Amino acid sequence: MTTKLFGEPVRRREDARLIVGKGRYLDDIGHSALAAAFVRSPHAHARITDIDVEGALDVEGLVAIYTYEDLHGAMAEPLPVLIPHPQLTAARTGHPLANGEVNHVGEAVVMVVATDRYIAEDAAERIVVSYEELPVVVGVDAAREAAHAVHDEIPDNVGARHHQETGDVEPALAASPHTLSFTQYIERSASMPMEGKGVHARWDADDRSLRVYSSTQASTSVRAAIAAKLELSLEKVEVVAPDVGGGFGVKIVHPWPEELLVPMAAIALGQEVKWSEDRREHFISSAHERQQRQDVTVGYDDDGRITALDVHVWHDHGAYTPYGIIVPIITATQLVGPYVIPVYRVIVESVYTNTVIVTPYRGAGRPQACYAMERTMDRIADALDLDRAVVRERNLIQPSQFPYDQHLTFQDGRPVIYDSGDYPGLLDKLRALVDWSSVEDLRAQAAARGKLLGIGMALYVEGTGPGPYEGGHVQVLGSGKVLVATGLTSQGQGHETSFAQIVASELGVPIEDVEVTTGDTRRFPYAVGTFASRAAVMSGNAIALAARGVREKALRIAADVLEVDPGDLEIDEGLVQVKGVPGTSIPLRTVAVLSNPLRYAFDEAAKQATQFTTHDDTRPPVAEGDAPGLEHRDYYSPIRSTFASGAHAAVVEIDTQTWEIDVVKYAVVHDCGNVVNPMIVEGQVHGGVAQGVAGALYERMAYDKDGQLQNASFMDFLMPYASEVPDIDIDHQQTPSPLNPLGIKGAGEAGVIPGTAAIASAIEDAVGRRIAAMPISPTELYDLMRNDDTELTEAHRRRSGTGAMA
């Protein structure tokens, strides 16, 4: 087939509208809609004693005010715990509007609806909420100490104690030739898409049906949640994800309070209602991720081979647990990375704090996991005076060991069995790409310029494409147009292009004829969502299967018409033809027409399928077991996740006057199996690395002890501009997944995972001081350098000739 586009860097089809300003994002919809605005809690922990709306009532243009008292039935219940887990023993969720108590700054207390957003905010400003402040818990350590409780009934602040082990760790540690222990911290950042969340709802009072647009990563599930909460029949609710301006995890959570309240108001008022989140709202009422304290003890032999690993993590999950313990589970299970860990025990205590909820942000627990494992490797290398790459190499799972069972249970409830990979291959490529052995020369050159230079690396394995399933629908129209739909949404990853490439390749049609719709429940009502690097794996394979189904049917119908065996036919450029017999062919669009036996000819093409033009009267027009139309729907449901992998290295240069940390080289080797569109995958890597570097050096959610987010704006939260993102060298490796028809693994999150670990390692290498808290700013590095209590690395002692092993 010549229509082979799988694997090609096809330019994106969605760009045509996006570069001319014709995208359709949430706030581009519904210009005449009423606008919602929210009164949000200014306190991190308080009881609401009174809500006085009096002052707002004479604001001209005010339409309605809602408080918890106005919520009825299921709406008055707590929001759902989306992913229950037996170890999540003390789950708590908020209400769509606060019910008597607020647990973080930014929690919604009152919703105001007015003729436009300005007026809605005017009214919101005039509403007086009285609070009785309660003690505030901020940060994992405070939660752990539990001097105060976030929720009265959970005095120890522990929502879940997640525990997995692959053997008896204590005797294994006792029997190890060496052990070492350390504690380290990692801070909060956030997805921070350029477009905030947003919801638009329209109620058709005559039809009694609701259409909701939401800037979401899970439209089918938002639909189910709205139907359940507003007590509507599912078929009366449609949810559409329009163009979505980035998600990175925060838009997978649902239903956000606003996703319920806006439709509720639209129904009550019989008018369109819209809410677009502003940036401050996004900071204080969406989701964050990443804060953990990690206590690690590792046993190892003289060669640096790990004999046992014992990890205790305290994970800050914020005020509520709507997304269950997915992030802790991912940290727990992805921590082992590409390594053979003979005995492993992990306990993650997921704790409440009076801060914004913590749910997946690109990487979702993996950057923390990688940080724990890779910094452990660095410590072993340091203690044994071994090359950090060599220690890693000695612990790697070998290509001959696949499938490799880590004997853990992943976030999808399925075993962590690595499907395929070549980790030594990754490491070799990385060493070559970053020129690992040249570091001492580089260090000397930098020193001559008065700079400190260091190098670090980090490897990871990423479980991608978890189930339970996704579906795809492919339909060929009589015009030749091929319609493709999947329920999974897009946040800018180029699904319209990748999925069209798959269909063009599978079906043998020009890509120009293919039209892809994602995240629209009208077109495909069954789906799970876009997260965990699963879109290409899940929907990609489902769509491929659907296209194969269409192909088979097309060949069957064409074989009948051409009176040949279906096996002798091929489809190329939209033409079904007999292989090797040019001229004996029928256009696919004609096959589509013939697939639907007609009584009425509504156009020229349709005439071919009407009852007096088709001649075989020995069979029913639609054969038994067949269906009219050239279309097929199929699903892909994997037995378990696929496991992508990669290795990053960073070279940093540090100015000893300003302690500014400059990433002068960043190298990436990644393996996500077969690739549908290498241009798109590379773009994902670039974006991921930028977020990885940001998480290592710039971004943090700076809460003060009262639970006030001190940097809730782009002025103070240091999201990187181009000047902060290093140039990236990329090398590729492809070990196809044996688990799915296309052999692909997910790629969306990979780039972000090793950034913190690799950069921490590089800084430590440069300055010879332990780096045990990330991110790190120039000020913090300066403080660390001038503090006499800062632990020196063994490598530093050796370098300066003062170490015990020097």
Partner 1 sequence: MTNVDIERTVTVTVNGVPREATVPVRRLLSDALRHDLGLTGTHVGCEHGVCGACTVLVDGDPVRSCLMLAVQVDGRSVTTVEGLARDDNRGGQVLHPVQEAFRECHALQCGFCTPGFLITIAAGLEKRDNTVELTEEEVDDMVGGNLCRCTGYANIKKAVHHAAATMRDAG
Contact positions vs partner 1 (CB under 8 A): 11-12, 14-16, 18-25, 27-28, 31, 60, 116, 118, 122, 192-195, 243-246, 248, 278-279, 491-494, 679-680, 682-683, 686-691, 713-715, 719, 721-723, 725, 727-728, 751
Q: Which is nearer to ligand FES, 216 or 733 (CB)?
A: 216
Compute the least distance from the CB of residue 533 to partner 1, in Å.
Answer: 15
Q: Which is nearer to partner 1, 603 or 727 (CB)?
A: 727
Compute the least distance from the CB of residue 367 to ligand FES, in Å.
Answer: 20
* Cα–Cα dist 728/298, whole Å: 32
Q: Burial level of 116, CB count in 10 A (0-12/13-18/19+)? A: middle
From the list partner 1, ligand FES, none, partner contacted by residue 648 (C-beta under 5 to 8 A by kind) = none
* Cα–Cα dist 512/645, whole Å: 33
Compute the least distance from the CB of residue 468 to partner 1, in Å.
Answer: 26
In DSSP terms, which residues pair with 365 in a beta bridge? none
Is 492 a binding residue for ligand FES by CB under 6 A? The answer is yes
Q: Which is nearer to partner 1, 722 or 804 (CB)?
A: 722
How many C-beta atoms surround the C-beta of residue 194 within 10 A?
A: 11
For residues 269 and 113, the answer to whether their CB atoms sit within 8 Å is yes
From the list ligand FES, partner 1, none, partner contacted by residue 248 (C-beta under 5 to 8 A by kind) = partner 1
Residues 267-306 that bind ligand FES (CB under 6 A): none
Residue type, 611: Q
State both tokens at 288. Answer: 């964050």
Number of residues engaging ligand FES in binding (CB under 6 A): 3
Compute the least distance from the CB of residue 491 to partner 1, in Å.
Answer: 6
Compute the least distance from the CB of residue 275 to ligand FES, in Å.
Answer: 17
Strands of the sheet containing 569-572, edge to edge, are 569-572, 575-578, 585-587
From the list partner 1, ligand FES, none, partner contacted by residue 31 (C-beta under 5 to 8 A by kind) = partner 1
In DSSP terms, which residues pair with 647 in a beta bridge? 459, 669
Q: Which is nearer to partner 1, 66 or 361 (CB)?
A: 361
Is 751 a binding residue for ligand FES by CB under 6 A? The answer is no
From the list ligand FES, partner 1, none, partner contacted by residue 713 (C-beta under 5 to 8 A by kind) = partner 1
Q: Which is nearer to partner 1, 18 or 386 (CB)?
A: 18
Compute the least distance from the CB of residue 245 to ligand FES, in Å.
Answer: 6
* Cα–Cα dist 806/796, whole Å: 10
Residues 363-392 that bind ligand FES (CB under 6 A): none
* Cα–Cα dist 136/326, whole Å: 25
- HEC letters along 625-649: CCCCCEEEEEEECCCCCEEEEEEEE
Q: Which is nearer to partner 1, 248 or 323 (CB)?
A: 248
Compute the least distance from the CB of residue 465 to ligand FES, in Å.
Answer: 23
Q: Which is nearer to partner 1, 237 or 535 (CB)?
A: 535
Q: Which is nearer to ligand FES, 25 or 526 (CB)?
A: 25
How many C-beta atoms surround the C-beta of residue 806 within 10 A?
A: 11
List the one residue from 194, 622, 623, 639 that touches ligand FES (CB under 6 A).
194
Compute the least distance from the CB of residue 488 to partner 1, in Å.
Answer: 16
Residue with structure tokens 């991608």?
A: 464
Compute the least distance from the CB of residue 360 to partner 1, in Å.
Answer: 16
Is 246 a binding residue for ligand FES by CB under 6 A? The answer is yes
Length of the chain: 806
From the list partner 1, ligand FES, none, partner contacted by residue 16 (C-beta under 5 to 8 A by kind) = partner 1
Strands (E), 399-542: 404-409, 415-418, 451-464, 470-476, 482-486, 514-518
**Hey, CA dihedral for 359, 235, 542, 85, is it positive or negative?**
positive
Is 683 a binding residue for ligand FES by CB under 6 A? The answer is no
Is 324 a binding residue for ligand FES by CB under 6 A? The answer is no
From the list partner 1, ligand FES, none, partner contacted by residue 338 (C-beta under 5 to 8 A by kind) = none
State both tokens at 642. Answer: 């696929």
From the list ligand FES, partner 1, none, partner contacted by residue 118 (C-beta under 5 to 8 A by kind) = partner 1
How many C-beta atoms surround the C-beta of residue 374 within 10 A?
A: 28
From the list partner 1, ligand FES, none, partner contacted by residue 695 (C-beta under 5 to 8 A by kind) = none
The backbone region for 681, taken as left when phi is positive above 0, alpha when psi lies in -120 to 50, beta otherwise, is: alpha
Q: Which is nearer to ligand FES, 466 or 492 (CB)?
A: 492
- HEC letters along 466-483: CCCCEEEEEEECCCCCEE
Strands (E), 219-301: 237-240, 273-276, 292-300
Q: Which is nearer to ligand FES, 146 or 719 (CB)?
A: 719
Residue 186, C-beta contacts closer than 8 angstroms, at least 6 positions apart:
290, 291, 292, 294, 367, 368, 371, 756, 773, 774
For residues 292 and 316, the answer to whether their CB atoms sit within 8 Å is yes
Q: Which is nearer to ligand FES, 278 or 440 (CB)?
A: 278
Is 342 a binding residue for ligand FES by CB under 6 A? The answer is no
For residues 186 and 291, the answer to whether their CB atoms sit within 8 Å is yes
Compute the least distance from the CB of residue 588 to ligand FES, in Å.
Answer: 35
Q: Which is nearer to partner 1, 612 or 721 (CB)?
A: 721
Question: In the complex, which residues of this chain contact ligand FES (CB under 6 A)?
Answer: 194, 246, 492
